[in-house]
């Protein structure tokens, strides 16, 4: 409904908790013991949802599937629109001279392949290892 009424105002976000990216299993997140499956986190020993672990690239894929919007519209919903809302569209959410070189390269099927922060490539494998080690 929001997309149909005002597509230029749509902003996609994820409410993923810190278990995002971890393999399914049991973890302690803060003071809560949780069980993570492929796409959800439950309070351990219950069927009570503790939170989401959806990634932003999955949000993009879902948004396109659910709304039939264009790829450009979906990408603007995670880049330009949030930057405009925050008043930082001169340096964030755009690719142009003078803007920060924070970029994400997606595969043809819209999965994150490479990430650049301030023009420097981020070692994604190193981040995965650091996150996994933190919660094991």
- Total length of the chain: 136
* 57 among known catalytic residues: no
Closest by CA to 35, choosing from 128, 135, 130, 131, is 135
Q: Please pick, among 4, 8, 15, 57, the residue that the annotation labels catalytic.
A: 15
Inter-residue contact 58 to 20 (CB < 8 Å):
no
Q: What are phi and psi of 29, to 5 degrees?
A: -115, 110
Catalytic residue numbers read 15
């Amino acid at each position: 409904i929001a997309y149909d009424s005002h597509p230029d105002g749509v902003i996609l976000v994820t409410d993923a908790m810190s278990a995002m990216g971890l393999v399914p299993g049991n973890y302690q997140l803060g003071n809560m013991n949780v069980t993570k499956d492929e796409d959800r986190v439950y309070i351990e020993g219950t069927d009570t949802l503790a939170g989401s672990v959806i990634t932003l690239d999955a949000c993009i894929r879902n948004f396109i599937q659910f709304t039939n919007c264009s790829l450009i519209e979906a990408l603007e919903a995670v880049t330009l629109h949030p930057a405009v809302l925050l008043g930082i569209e001169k340096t964030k959410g755009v690719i142009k001279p003078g803007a920060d070189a924070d970029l994400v390269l997606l595969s043809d099927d819209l999965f994150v392949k490479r990430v650049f922060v301030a023009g420097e490539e981020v070692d994604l494998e190193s981040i995965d290892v650091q996150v996994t080690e933190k919660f094991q």
